[in-house]
Structure 1
Amino acid sequence: MKILQNKAVKTHIISGFLGAGKTTVLQHLLKQKPEHEKWAILMNEFGQIGIDQQLLPQNSGFEIKELLGGCLCCSSQLPMQIALSRLLNETKPDRLFIEPTGLGHPAELIEQLTEPHWQQSIDMRALVIVVDGSRLHDEAWRTQNLYQDQLKAAEIVVISHTDVMNSEDQHALQQLKIDHQAYVRSWILADHGQVELAQIDLDHVAIQRKIQPLLKVQKTILSQAESTEMPVIKQLPYHYVESTNGYMVAGWKFPKRWQFEFYPLLDVLCDLQDWLRIKAIFSTDQGWKSFNFNPEQFNYKSAEENIDNRIEIITQNPLDWEKLEALLLECQLNLQ
C-alpha cells in the first residue's frame, strides 16, 4: 500500500444518516471544480449494487471510485485502504471527496485517515455530516445510536430539506445546536443541497480525548506507584475528558448492572453549577431514566434500557470532577 503522492490532497468526508441527502450535497460541491483541477470521489455502498455513482458527473476532470459491500468506516476494511492508495497514486487529484455509507461511523474513518502513514498524502478537512431537517421532529429517528454517533463526530453539520421543515423541526434544530455546541463548528442550512466549497474547506481539528480509570481509582494508583502512567482502560467503569473548540467535555461510563437511586441522583445533577449541557442515562430504582439539561430547561424522562450508565457534561471551565464523581457513586445502590 505504497503512497507516492508528493502533495497532501485536501480530503473531505461527506457523511450522514440514510437518506439525509449526502449525494445531493456532493453533486453541488462538484459543480464548483475549477477547470484546471482534477477531483476524485470515493463512494461506499453497503450493498452490492452501486447507484449513487451514476448520479455524479461522468465527464473529464473527475475520477470516481466506488466500493461495494461492507462499510469503509470499519477498521478491518483493507479494501478501502488499497482503493484509496490507488486512487491517490494513479489519479493524483487536487481534491478528494469521500462519501461513506449512511450506516457508517465516520469517526472511525477519520481515525484511520489521520494515522501517520496517511499524513503525507491526505490533508484532512473538517468532517461534514448531512442531516435531514424535515425529520428532526421524529424523536425515535434522531435518538438512534448511529445517528447520535455520527453527529458527535461532526465538525460541520449541513441541514438538508430545509424547505419542508415544520415548526417542530425548527425547535428540534435549536435543541440540536445546544446539545452539540462543543463539537460542531458550523451549521449550514442547505436549500436543495447548495453548499459552497468555502463553507466546508476548514482544517480538521481532532478531539483530544483521554480515557482513564475513575478518579478515585486514579488517586489510589498515584499514591501507590512512582509512575504517573495510568493503565489502559479495557472495560467499564471509566472516566474521560475531551477538549475541543474551547470547550471541555467530561464523562463517565458505568456498567449496566450498576443501579442508582433516582431522587438523590436528580438532586446531584440539579445542584451542579457552571455547566453548558448535561446528558445522561441511568438505571435507577425508578427504571431507566434519561436526562437532558440545558441552563434554561431540566428535562428527564423514562428511557429504554441502555448498554451502560453514562453521563456527559459540557463546560467552558473545569469543575470539581472528583467531587462530582464521589456524589454520583454515593447514589449507587448495588455496590459491586
Structure 2
Amino acid sequence: MKLVHSKAVKTHIISGFLGAGKTTLLQKLLAQKPEGETWAVLMNEFGQIGIDQQLLPQGNGFEVKELLGGCLCCTSQLPMQIALSRLIQESKPDRLFIEPTGLGHPAQLLEQLTEPHWRNQIDMRALVTVVDGSRLHDTEWSSQNLYQDQLKAAQIVVVSHVNEMNNADENAFIQLQDEYLVYVSTWLKAEQGNILLACIDVPFVGVERKLQPLIQIQKKLSTPEVLPEIKQLPYHYVETAQGYSVVGWKFSKRWQFNFYDLLDLLCEQQNWLRIKGIFNTDQGWMTFNFNPEQLNYKSGAENIDNRIEIITQTQQDWENFEEQLLKCRIDPS
C-alpha cells in the first residue's frame, strides 16, 4: 500500500490559447513518467463533454480527472478546490499537471493555488504557456487580451508548430521575447511537443505586483501609514521580476490628453527598455510602442482606459514623470 505523502506535490500548470498544443505537450511530458511513480492530471473543459481526457494515458500510474463546464480559472473556486483536494488525497500523486481551458486566465488559477491553504499540499512549479508559433505573425490573434494575459502569467513559454513557422513568425517571435522579457524567463521551441520534463521542472517565481494610489496622492498620506491596495482608477502600479521593473499608470478613459505634449514627454525619457501606452488624446485614441530602435505611434481603437507602462532596469524619478504626465491632461476636473 502506498504511503501518505509527507511532502507537497510538484504541480505544473500547462496554459495556452485554444489549439495551441497544450494536450500534445502534456502527452509528451506524461510519457516521461518514471516507473513506480503515480502522476495525476486535472483537465478543465469549458463544455459539458470531455474529449481531451480520452487522449491521455489511463491507468498504470496515471490518474486523469476532468472538471467540466465553465473555467476553473474564472468561475467559483469551490468545484476546483474540491476536485483538486480529492485528486491529491485519493491518488497521492508524485507529480500533478493542471490543464486549464484555452479560454482561461491562468494568473487567477495561479493566485488561488499559491495561497497559504495549498502550500503544504502543492509545490508549484513554473507556469507554462503554450503558443502556436505558426500564428505569431497574426496580429489580430496576438493582440487579444486573453492571449496577452496568458503570456504575462507565464514563467516558461513553449512554442509549438515550429516546423510551420515562416519568416514573419520568426520576426514576431523575436519581438515577442523582447516584449515579455520581464515576465518570461525561458522560451522553448518544441517539435511535436517534445520537451524534456527537466526543462520545465523549476520552481515557480512570481512577479511582485503592487497597485497603489497615484504617487501625488501617496505623498499626502502620513509616512507610517500602509499604502492601500486599490483597483479603482486612477492608480499606479509596479511589477518586478528577473531584475526588471514595469512601472505603469491607468486612468479613466474619459480623461483626455494633449497628443503633442504627451509625445514630447515620452520622447524625452531616458534609460528605459520599452514604453507602451494607449491614450485618449485631442487627436483621437493613440497607441505608443517605443523601443530603443523605434519610436512608433499610431491611431488606435478606443480602449477601456488610458494606460502606460515603462520597462526599466534603473530607478528613476517616477514622481516627476507622473507630475509631467498629468500636466498633459487637457480636461482636469
What TM-score, normalized by structure 1, do the two folds share?
Answer: 0.96
Partner residue, 1:66? 66
- Amino acid of the residue matched to residue 181 of structure 2? Q
SS of equivalent residue, structure 1 residue 218:
helix
Residue in 2 aligned with 1:35? 35
Query: Which residue of structure 2 lines up, in the alignment, with residue 255 of structure 1?
Result: 252
Question: 1:5·1:88 contact (CA, 8 Å) conserved in 2?
Answer: no
In 2, Cα distance between the equivalents of 1:93 and 1:300? 51
Query: Runs (4+) of structure 1 moved beyond 2 Å?
Result: 225-228
CA shift at 1:215, angstroms?
A: 0.3
Match of 2:320 among 305, 315, 323: 323
Contact kept? 2:156, 2:184, Cα under 8 Å:
yes
Residues 1:125 and 2:122 aligned together: no
Question: Which deviations, in whole Å up to 9, do the C-alpha atoms of 1:58-114 show, x marking residues without a partner?
Answer: 231100000000000126231000000000000000000000000000000000000
Post-superposition offset of 1:5 = 4.9
1:275 aligned partner: 272
Equivalent pairs, count: 330
Contact 1:131 1:157 in 2 (8 A): yes
* 2:202 pairs with 1:192: no
User: 2:298 pairs with 301, 315, 329, which one?
Assistant: 301
**CA separation in 1, counterparts of 2:236 and 2:223?**
22
**8 A contact 1:5–1:89 mirrored in 2:** no
Cα RMSD (Å): 1.1
CA distance in 1, matches of 2:87, 2:196: 25
Alpha-carbon deviation of 1:6?
2.5
Q: After TM superposition, list the pairs within 5 Å mapping 1:33-182 onto structure 2.
A: 33-74=33-74, 76-182=76-182
Alpha-carbon separation, structure 2, partners of 1:168 and 1:209: 33
Letter of the 2:61 partner, please give it: G
Distance in 1 between residues matched to 2:94 and 2:228, nearest whole Å: 43
Preserved CA contact (<8 Å) 1:75 1:112? no
Is the contact between residue 71 and residue 77 of structure 1 (CA under 8 Å) also seen in structure 2?
no
Q: 1:116 and 1:5, CA in 2 relative to 1: closer, same or farther beyond 3 A?
A: farther
CA distance in 2: counterparts of 1:20 and 1:291, whole angstroms: 29
On the 8 A contact 1:39/1:93 being kept in 2, the answer is: yes
Q: Is the contact between residue 153 and residue 183 of structure 2 (CA under 8 Å) also seen in structure 1?
A: yes
Q: What TM-score, normalized by structure 2, do the two folds share?
A: 0.97
How far apart are residue 291 of structure 1 and its match?
Answer: 1.2
| Distance in 2 separating the partners of 1:105 and 1:6 | 31
Distance in 2, matches of 1:195 and 1:140, equals 28
- Counterpart of 1:130, as a letter, is V
Instruction: Please name the residue that 1:311 is paired with.
Output: 308
Structure 2 Cα separation of the partners of residues 302 and 37 of structure 1: 56
Deviations along 1:27-82, one digit per CA (max 9) or x if unpaired, are 11001000111000000000111111111112311000000000001262310000
State the distance in 1 between where 2:234 and 2:146 align: 22
Cα distance in 2, alignment partners of residues 13 and 319 from structure 1: 35
Distance 2:288 2:75 in 1: 32
Distance 1:108 1:234 in 2: 15
What is the DSSP-based 3-state SS (H/G/I as helix, E as strand, rest coil) of the residue aligned with 1:283? strand
Deviation at 1:196?
0.8
Pair 1:210 & 2:202 matched? no
Alpha-carbon distance, 1:299 to partner? 1.5
Q: CA deviation at 1:231?
A: 2.7
Q: Give structure 2 stretches of 5+ with no counterpart.
A: none
SS of aligned partner of 2:65: strand
Tell me how far apart the structure 2 counterparts of residues 329 and 75 of structure 1 sit (CA, whole Å). 37
